[in-house]
């Protein structure tokens, strides 16, 4: 006889397992369905969901293109052991800013950049900036691997007067020539002392460079520079006209030259290298006749120039005539030299020798005008007649 109690227990267990099987979802590898993706109600069309586009992995991203190799360009490591010497100055004004190169980037091949080692900058002086004008500037430099042209990319110029807020000066790029282009910087018409700071980036054939530096400056307003032309060609023409009629000896206009001169507000300068006053001698110039031991009157004729520091040297004419045949002139015979002070009326006296003879007198002055400073020279022939025979 079967065990009814055991059969009932087995039946109960099977019943419970069947119930649990209907209540627990089956395990599946298919993704679960969100409420929004649940099947549409019976009788409604079911739209086919597009397959999602897989996100690209980081490993699949396209690397940036490598710049092409430029023929003749060294690698940045070959030129970076020392910092390049770079400076910049204005076309108007008298200043030069020594710049520290802070980055050199290779333009040929792999985009590699380096920071050159620091160096001592020569920015200890005080420059001069002209207010109310626009000046031009560009980096000036040379280093191993440098190859023009230079193309400006950015430039920031800041002027900070003592006790005032920094002023970002307006800038614009302008053409230079086939080797470089430039930055034009506009200075407001102000006066004072402060600091001029320059930050710029540029490229040459092989590299991109960034550099910066600053100097102390004085800023002069247009009220100070009025009547001083800032264009270089116009400046030299203005100076030439001022030096045409500078001196008279007795009542005669004499030929003058300026071997050395310098603009007060620009970097225009004639340094007078290898200038010798004896070369102004002209044997055909008419001689001034003066009694032994007397003096010839010398006077300034151009009120635009202030003459100071007169120096006179008198030589025998024969020695001068021989000396100027060589370079430099040598063999001159000096008879007398003087540094006369001006008389009450502002004129000077050119003393002649006590002995009769034919002489050459060289006369030099320091001059100053509103716009220029320098030297003025003239050379005159002097005859000192001897006693009349009885």
What mean pLDDT comes out for the span 260-271?
96
pTM for the full predicted model: 0.73
**Beta bridge mates, 159:** 167, 196
CATH code 2.60.40.10 region(s) in the chain: 232-384
Lowest mean per-residue pLDDT among 36-40, 152-156, 173-177: 36-40
Query: Looking at residue 27, what is its pLDDT?
Result: 30
Query: Looking at residue 390, what is its pLDDT?
Result: 53
Residue 367, pLDDT above cutoff 90: yes
Residue 23, pLDDT above cutoff 60: no
CA distance 140 to 89: 9
Query: Looking at residue 63, what is its pLDDT?
Result: 62
Residue 180, pLDDT above cutoff 60: yes
What mean pLDDT comes out for the span 123-151?
90
CA distance 128 to 218: 5
Query: Looking at residue 36, what is its pLDDT?
Result: 40
Residue 350, pLDDT above cutoff 50: yes
Query: What architecture is the 76-225 domain classified under in CATH?
Result: Sandwich (2.60)
Q: Which tens digit of pLDDT belongs to each residue from 315-349? A: 999 999 999 999 999 999 999 999 999 999 999 99
CA distance 7 to 2: 8
Q: By the 8 A CB rule, do 338 and 312 touch?
A: yes
Higher pLDDT, 76 or 251: 251
Q: Give alpha helix (H) positions in the chain.
A: 4-23, 76-79, 222-225, 232-242, 317-323
Domain 232-384 has CATH 2.60.40.10: yes
Residue 258, pLDDT above cutoff 50: yes
The confidence band for 385, taking pLDDT boundaries of 50, 70 and 90, is very high
Q: Which tens digit of pLDDT belongs to each residue from 138-170? A: 999 877 667 888 999 999 999 999 999 999 999
C-alpha distance from residue 270 to each of 33, 78, 181, 386 (Å):
91, 40, 26, 42
Q: By the 8 A CB rule, do 182 and 173 touch?
A: yes
What mean pLDDT comes out for the span 29-35?
37
Residue 43, pLDDT above cutoff 50: no
Closest to 320 measured CA to CA, from 357, 290, 356, 292: 357
Q: Starting at the edge strand that comes first in sequence, how are the strands of the sheet with 252-253 ordered? A: 252-253, 247-249, 295-300, 348-351
Query: Looking at residue 338, what is its pLDDT?
Result: 96
């Amino acid at each position: 006889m079967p065990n009814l109690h055991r059969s009932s227990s087995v039946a109960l267990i099977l019943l419970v397992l069947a119930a649990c099987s209907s209540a627990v979802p089956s395990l599946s590898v298919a993704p679960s369905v969100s409420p929004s993706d649940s099947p549409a109600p019976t009788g409604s069309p079911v739209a086919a969901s597009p397959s999602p586009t897989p996100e690209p992995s980081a490993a699949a991203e396209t690397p940036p293109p490598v710049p092409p190799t430029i023929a003749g360009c060294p690698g940045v490591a070959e030129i970076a052991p020392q910092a390049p010497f770079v400076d910049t100055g204005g076309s108007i004004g008298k200043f030069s800013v020594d710049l520290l190169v802070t980055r050199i980037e290779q333009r040929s091949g792999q985009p590699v950049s380096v920071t050159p080692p620091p160096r001592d900058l020569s920015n200890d002086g005080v420059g001069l900036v002209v207010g109310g004008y626009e000046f031009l500037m560009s980096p000036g430099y040379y280093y191993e691997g440098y190859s023009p042209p230079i193309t400006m990319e950015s430039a920031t110029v800041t002027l900070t007067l003592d006790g005032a807020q920094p002023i970002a000066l307006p800038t614009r790029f302008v053409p230079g020539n086939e080797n470089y282009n430039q930055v034009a910087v506009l200075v407001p018409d102000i006066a004072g002392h402060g600091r001029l700071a320059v930050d710029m980036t540029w490229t040459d054939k092989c590299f991109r460079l960034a550099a910066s530096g600053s100097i102390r400056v004085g800023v002069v307003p247009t009220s100070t520079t009025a009547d001083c032309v800032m264009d270089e060609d116009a400046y030299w023409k203005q100076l030439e006209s001022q030096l045409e009629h500078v001196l008279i000896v007795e009542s005669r206009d004499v030929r003058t030259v300026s071997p050395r001169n310098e603009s007060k507000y620009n970097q225009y300068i004639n340094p007078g290298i290898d200038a010798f006053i004896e070369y102004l001698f002209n044997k055909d110039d008419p001689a001034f006749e003066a009694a032994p031991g007397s003096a010839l009157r010398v006077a300034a004729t151009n009120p635009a120039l202030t003459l100071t520091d007169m120096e006179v040297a008198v030589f025998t004419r024969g020695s001068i005539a021989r000396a100027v045949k060589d370079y430099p002139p040598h063999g001159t015979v000096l008879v007398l030299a003087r540094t006369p002070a001006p008389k009450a009326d502002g004129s000077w006296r050119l003393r002649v020798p006590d002995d009769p003879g034919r002489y050459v007198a060289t006369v030099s002055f320091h001059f100053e005008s509103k716009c220029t400073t320098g030297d003025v020279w003239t050379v005159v022939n002097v005859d000192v007649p001897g006693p009349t025979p009885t």
